Amino acid sequence: MKSNIKIFTGGVLCLLVLAGFAGCKKFLDAPPLNTVTKAEALKDEAGVVAVMNGAYQIMNGSILGGKYQVFAELMADNIDGTTLNTDFGEIYNRKTSIFGDYKKYFYQDNYQANYRANTVLENLGVVVNKKDDLEGQARFVRAFAHFVAVRLFAQPYGYTPNNDHLGIPLRLTTEVTPGVRATVKQVYDQIIADLKIAENKLGATNGGYPTKWAAKALLARVYFSMNDFTNAYAYADQVISSGQFTFETDYSKRFSEGQSTEAIFQMINTPGAYDAGGELRSQFRSDINLPTLRFTQQLFSSISSGDARKAWFNNVKYPGLVVTTKYNKERFNVPMIHLTEMKLIRAESAAELNTNLTVAVNDINDIMNRAYGGIRTIPANSSASLIRTTVRAERAIEMVAEGDRLYEIKRIGARGENIDKRGAVWNCPGLALQFPQEEISSNTSFIRNPEGGCN
Amino acid sequence: MKVFYLMRHCLFVLLALSALTANAQTGSLTGKVLDETGQPLPGASVQIKSIGKSTITDVGGNYKLTGLNNGQFTVVASFIGYKSVERSVAVKGASTANFDLKPDDQSLNEVVVVGYGTQTRREVTGSIARVSGDKIAALPTPSFEASLQGRAPGVQVTQGSGLAGSGSVIRVRGIGSISAGGDPLYVVDGIPITSDPFISGNRGGMNQNPLATINAEDIESIDILKDAGAAGIYGSRGANGVILITTKRGKSGSPVVNFSTKYGLSTYATKPKFVNGSEWLALRQEAWTNDGHTGLATLPQGITWDQARQTNTNWFDLVTRTGKYNEQNLSLSQGTEKLKTYISVNHDDNQSFLKGNSYEKYGFRTNVDVKPTDYFSASVNLGYSKGTNQRVNAAWDGGIGDAMSTALPIYPVFNADGTYWANGANPARSINYVDWKAVDQRLLAGLTVELKPFKNFSVKGIANIDHLDLTEDQFRPKELTGNARGYANRWLNQQINNNFTGTATYDLNFSDKSKLSFLAGIETQSSELNGYPNGIYGDADGPYSKNQDAMYLQMQQMGSNLYYVNGANRTTFASLFARATYSYANKYTVQALMRRDGSSKFGPNHKYGNFPAVSAGWTLSQENFLKDSKVVNYLKLRGSYGITGNANIPPGEYYAKFGNSGSYNGQPVVTPQNVENPNLQWEQLKSIDAAVEFGFLNNRISGEFAYYNKKTSKVLISGGISPSTGFLAAFQNVGEILNEGLELSLNTINIQSKNFKWTTNFNISKNYNKVLSIGNLSSDGILGATNDTRIIVGKPVGTNYLVRYVGVDPADGLPIWLDKNGYQTKTFSLDNRVAVGQVMPDYVGGLTNTFSFKGFELTSLFTFALGGNIYDGSAKRQLGVVTDWNIRTDISDRWQKPGDIARFPRLTMTPGTYPGLSSEWQYNSTMFLYDASFMRLRELTLAYRFPAAFAKKLGMNNTRVFVTGMNLLTFSKYPGGDPEIARDFENPQDRNMSPNVMYLTTPQQKSVTFGLSTSF
């Protein structure tokens, strides 16, 4: 009501003093009140923090809360794609075109998270207390966004000897310009540069936000994806040795509300206020209705009956169909990087480097003991090659439905070994998503990816 | 409160004045004023000019003039729409004189509403189409504006659907906008009202239509301002035309009570035909076998063949029913010279043919005009309505949309244990469980005060408000969410518009023949949206409307996710305007007008815009060489040129906006909203109008022929931003669009005898639309939202951009396409898309025939659209790759074995079977492009008016009973359902570019309505 009266008097005043329109300047200076100007929004530390939170919000909502996993699972070789249609069918069949809203908004929202991170970086001047923390967080998010995009929209690291093949647009400012693809090397260099600053700027604990350990863990994942085992080992080892995270014995805690002791970086669920992992539940949750995304019989049978992880699947509720139970909860946090992955990286890197094999055997036996209840482990003096084979096998089961397998196909492929169970070559064109047509129509010289060719 | 005080005050003055007039004279004159059929004309004026006496006839057409001296008087009887009769009468004592008035078909004195005033038809130099209120009320459309279809040339009306309360897309003389709203401005009694269909977005596959709140029975007339000469006075908001709605007012004479009631039944006008369960299975199996598989085909959603064979669910029948409609209106009209009142109450309930969907509305209106003295008058308008829309999911969101897509005939409704089957689409389940109600309340109120301090001069002050309250509650119980509790949403919005107008008019009469009228005005407008932008939501056990406590509790828990905004989308306008009209000898009229608008939507660089227009009219039939013609009764030439604008974009786009957006990790979130453009400005429309108005052979043939040329420049386009910036679009002023057209309206009296009359009204408009420029943007960068239309230079707005389909190769059953250069290819590629069709028709129009015989009247209205295309976005799933969608029966014309000549290629379950096709969604080709031409019997009404004498015995006047059929017949070549399509839209750009793009759109209703209207 109050604002009505204000508008009323404003209008009347304007009419009264309308002479020469001068009096109306104020009346016409009436911006919408649900928004503020950029200067107002970013006038102080609280404003910059709120934009930083906006980056996580969209990261979860459109990327890490499910779509990231859906893309990777669809393009890998564990999904039963026989009845998939439309966007999912197109992604599953590894022949995406310039259209498809699911992909378009994924791409845009991922870069929107990046834009918010850049906004934070450009406005650190007003930040007093949390300058280092916010810089670290923003660089972490920027690195993560570029890492997500480059692995889906470009051929992997190692596709060309110098990695001078086309990557994705590098966006390091909030400037609005046409998109131009940088090389994969340029993108990876930037990701590593950002994360190396982040690991120094971020603290050891951060109330649900990225810590220095999160930055190091992401570095481990980045180096591992480059088949740079020395760095991958070093960073995974730092994270594991930090003692901040404890290997847990109960699988059900990985996707839970804050009970996981393994989560190094996770999307936080706040009951009643913010849902994390909505898209995971939409596409995978199987305790209510039949989910759209189901798994192959081949994957199900590859898990031995003595394996506790068999409980991650159900082949009874919907006869003839295999669904995952990993996300059968009303709400949970989404751990994006967890201790189990660090152990898998450390063990495989050690095996590849043929050093620290004892550490590797212990890592893999931790995981195997949890899975097989002490029945199956590998001997202490196992060879590097046995360790590597075992780690890869355990990884395939451990990380199921978490969107990991696709990058293994590509990473191992880049080492000259085709592991795709669907029989495609690791570097076939369709294993890189096509860019959305808006990227192409806003820059007519934008170079698109070749399409299809994976079967 | 002040209003009532004022009214009471006026009544005192009134009483005092009437007491003064009693004095003694000897003569009196009484009599009747009758119409051409001998029926009394209530409210006709009878005047003796020489002594300044006048009166108004009562309900029986009787008048009485007393206090006359005996002698000879010239008496004039007149009534709007009738030729005045002037006669010399001798008064000696109590004398009598009756007057028979004849209708004046081409009444030059008809008063036309022109924006900030009225003009007589004689003076009008702009293009204005008028539709009377009875035509609007004649049809039980979901919302009144749909009833304009076929009634006015140059006004294209595409009714959206049969969803209760749904809206229509109205285009006045083509479409000249792309991303800015292309809808006309709606003005009710001088109040520019909210008509934005996107306040609630596209929730549930429907755009909530604020116009549904207007009661059709309250409408006296609708005037549509089409060119700059007419709409120019609305300046920056006039480019898309202006629809002026005038509500009924009290008429002079003793009190008359009008009552009308209607009852009707409805069903869908037409529907697509789908195959049944066993046919669907056979098609699936055929596709499976074609793909080289053996055994039985896989079935979707875990259904087994045994289950599938035993099931044949007709989902379309399960989600529809026979709709019911009823309506009651009661109004009181009364008036004296000093006080006129119109009061109405109404109720209508439209239970649509969709199960669970209805719109029930209660309305109240009072319009009061007070004129206590010659120099002061005031009027108060007050309209209130409350509508309750029981919503259902539609289109892409389920309901009837599911019945046309993913709810397969092989899916059961229930499981064996009696619970709803939920492994796939089950619209019966969602209709049963979802509780969804949208309540709109609207208050339209205006106060006008007019002073006439001296002759020919008047000043007016007008204050208006338009308050629209939208409360929407949706609840999905735990049976649907699968969680421990259900989930409730409440969306609360309040749209408030205020405007203040001050005008001064001065008439300068140089001589009898030469007259200059001058209008100057100032106006401010402000509008804003108040409410919870994200709504109130969370786990719940019932809808918030039924448990407010639970809602308050949830509001506390939501923390920073709950926030209330006062002034979202706040916009202000401040304007100056003036209009000068000079007329000479009733032959020549010249008008110049100018408006200067300032708007908060634009930054300092372009805050103000100027919108001038000039127009002229020449009534040739008043010239000596035609004055006495037996053939030509009326001939007028008319022309205008002017600039109008369009600023129908969200506010605050000229600077970088940041807004609240809930929370993350318990901390508030603020997010960037747009890409700034400090140079944003108005879209500018330069338009030319030229027309000839005519009446021949005693005006038995009359009409108008018009030409227009409209060029929009600085077209507001949202697009062209690289998504790797994090944004897809930003508003920019690039682009030019041309609309050029011809309009013809023809009214003929074919037969006129004592008892029988046949009249025809025909109108047809041709519009030619072409995009002249889109600046540096590329065609593929401007999408009709999710639809397959584009903006392409040299083509119309909303061009279908598709791969050309040649046909099926009889040898292998695979589709043959044309590549970009027109060569045949069997590889599908999106790079071969070309401009192949347009969503806007070439011609639209309507044909009304009215036959009257004694008290009977038979009216038919055919409406039609010729040319243009329908793109059927659902057909590419219903007739393309065999997936988990329903299949239309037209699939029977398909390739099955080598040698077959067929329309559709071999069936497959894999998009890749058709080389180059990546997914079902990308199957955008002319295979699904249809001719949009249609004609429908929009209205067929048979009415009977009881003879006056008979009615009088019952104590009634003007008693009429009628039966109306709506959309009884539809003629179209389109096999996919209703050929008239305005789907649910995502945004104004989608609305501008993609009418006639079908996507599981609910068909219109076909209905039969019985009614009675009477007065006493």
Question: What's the confidence (pLDDT) of residue B119?
Answer: 87
Sequence-separated (6 or more) residues with CB below 8 Å from residue A418: A425, A426
pLDDT of A405 above 70: yes
A428-437, pLDDT tens digit by residue? 999 999 999 9
The shortest CB-CB distance from B524 to any of A27, A114, A169 is to: A27
pLDDT of A213 above 80: yes
Residues in A touching B560 (Cβ below 8 Å): 273
Q: Please state, as a whole number, how many other Cβ atoms lie within 10 Å of the Cβ of residue B23.
A: 6
A325: DSSP letter: -
Residues in B touching A4 (Cβ below 8 Å): 496, 498
Q: Do A34 and B533 touch (CB under 8 A)?
A: yes
pLDDT of A14 above 70: no
Q: Tell me which CATH code domain A45-272+333-441 carries.
A: 1.25.40.390
Q: Do B566 and A274 touch (CB under 8 A)?
A: no
The shortest CB-CB distance from B918 to any of A90, A320, A438 is to: A90
**Both tokens assigned to B866:** 């010729």
Between B586 and B611, where is the model more confident? Answer: B611
If pLDDT is split at 50, 70 and 90, which confidence band does B107 have?
Answer: low
Overall average pLDDT of the A313-333 stretch: 93
Residues in B touching A18 (Cβ below 8 Å): 522, 574, 576
pLDDT of A220 above 80: yes
Overall average pLDDT of the B16-33 stretch: 61
Contact yes or no for B150/B863 (Cβ under 8 A): yes
Q: Please state, as a whole number, how many other Cβ atoms lie within 10 Å of the Cβ of residue B204.
A: 25
Q: What is the spatial distance between Cα A407 and Cα B392, in angstroms, rounded to a whole number?
A: 43
**Both tokens assigned to B266:** 């409805």
List of domains in chain B:
25-100 (2.60.40.1120), 133-273+313-435+446-1015 (2.40.170.20)
Question: What's the confidence (pLDDT) of residue B226?
Answer: 94
Question: What's the confidence (pLDDT) of residue B12?
Answer: 41
B640-671, pLDDT tens digit by residue? 999 999 999 999 999 999 998 889 999 999 99
**Both tokens assigned to B250:** 């009290």
Q: Do B502 and A290 touch (CB under 8 A)?
A: no
Q: Do A33 and B300 touch (CB under 8 A)?
A: no
Contact yes or no for A132/A150 (Cβ under 8 A): no
Strand partners, B468: B442, B495
Q: What is the spatial distance between Cα B365 and Cα B342, in angstroms, rounded to a whole number?
A: 8
Q: What are phi and psi of B447, to 5 degrees?
A: -130, 125
H-type alpha helices, A154-277 = 184-201, 212-225, 229-241
Can you tell me which residue has the tokens 């707005």? B797
Question: Which of B866, B879, B829 has the alpha carbon at shortest distance from B998?
Answer: B879
Q: What is the spatial distance between Cα A405 and Cα A70, in angstroms, rounded to a whole number?
A: 11
The shortest CB-CB distance from A37 to any of B422, B600, B655 is to: B655
Q: Do A37 and B499 touch (CB under 8 A)?
A: no
Alpha carbon separation from A217 to A221, A237, B191 (Å, rounded):
6, 9, 62
Residues within 8 A of A (CB atoms), B 448-487 only: 482-484
Residues in A touching B652 (Cβ below 8 Å): 31-32, 35
Question: What's the confidence (pLDDT) of residue B24?
Answer: 43
Q: Which amino acid, residue B81? A: G
pLDDT of A84 above 80: yes
pLDDT of A45 above 90: yes
Question: What's the confidence (pLDDT) of residue A274?
Answer: 85
A238-257 in b/e form (b: 16+ CB < 10 A) is bbbeeeebebbeebebbbbb
Contact yes or no for B784/B796 (Cβ under 8 A): no
pLDDT of B975 above 80: yes
Question: What's the confidence (pLDDT) of residue B41?
Answer: 83
**Both tokens assigned to B664:** 């993350």
Q: Do B482 and A288 touch (CB under 8 A)?
A: yes
Overall average pLDDT of the B331-336 stretch: 92
Q: What is the spatial distance between Cα B433 and Cα B418, in angstroms, rounded to a whole number?
A: 15
Overall average pLDDT of the B269-286 stretch: 95
Question: What's the confidence (pLDDT) of residue B59?
Answer: 78
Q: What is the spatial distance between Cα B652 and Cα B677, in angstroms, rounded to a whole number?
A: 10
Give, for A218, the enclosing helix (H) or strand (E): helix A212-225
At residue B288, the 3 state secondary structure works out as helix
pLDDT of B696 above 80: yes
pLDDT of B4 above 50: no
Put simply, whether B574 touches A (Cβ < 8 Å) is yes
The shortest CB-CB distance from A15 to any of B502, B598, B883 is to: B502
Pairing relationship of beta strands B736-752 and B756-773 according to DSSP bridges: antiparallel
Output the pTM of the full model.
Answer: 0.88
Question: What's the confidence (pLDDT) of residue B17?
Answer: 38
Q: Do A273 and B571 touch (CB under 8 A)?
A: no
Pairing relationship of beta strands B716-720 and B667-672 according to DSSP bridges: unpaired
Q: Do B652 and A439 touch (CB under 8 A)?
A: no
Map out the domains of chain A as residue ranges. 45-272+333-441
Highest mean pLDDT among A29-33, A187-191, B125-129: A187-191
Report the first-to-last Cα separation within chain A, whole angstroms: 65
Contact yes or no for B802/B819 (Cβ under 8 A): no
Q: What is the spatial distance between Cα A7 and Cα A183, in angstroms, rounded to a whole number?
A: 55
Question: C-alpha angle with apex B985: B794 to A99, nearest 5 degrees?
Answer: 65
Question: What's the confidence (pLDDT) of residue A150?
Answer: 98
If pLDDT is split at 50, 70 and 90, which confidence band does A314 have?
Answer: very high
Question: What's the confidence (pLDDT) of residue A24?
Answer: 66
At residue A378, the 3 state secondary structure works out as coil
CA distance, residue A383 to nearest chain B CA (Å): 45
Q: What are phi and psi of B236, to 5 degrees?
A: -70, -5
Contact yes or no for B423/B455 (Cβ under 8 A): no
pLDDT of B3 above 50: no
Contact yes or no for B847/B932 (Cβ under 8 A): no
Strand partners, B851: B758, B858
Put simply, whether B557 touches A (Cβ < 8 Å) is yes
B870-909 in b/e form (b: 16+ CB < 10 A) is bbbbbbbbbbbbbbbbbbbebbeebbeeeeeebebbbbbb
At residue B905, the 3 state secondary structure works out as coil
pLDDT of B104 above 90: no
Pairing relationship of beta strands B242-247 and B185-188 according to DSSP bridges: parallel
Average pLDDT, chain B: 90
Question: Which of A253, A331, A260, A275 has the alpha carbon at shortest distance from B484?
Answer: A331
Share of chain B above pLDDT 70, in %: 96
Q: Do B568 and A11 touch (CB under 8 A)?
A: no
A134: DSSP letter: H
Question: C-alpha angle with apex B697: B696 to B700, nearest 5 degrees?
Answer: 80
**Both tokens assigned to B356:** 């669970």
Sequence-separated (6 or more) residues with CB below 8 Å from residue B257: B330, B331, B332, B1015, B1016
Which of B670, B718, B727 is the mutation pick for testing A, counting most A CBs within 10 A? B670
CA distance, residue B719 to nearest chain A CA (Å): 8
pLDDT of B788 above 80: no
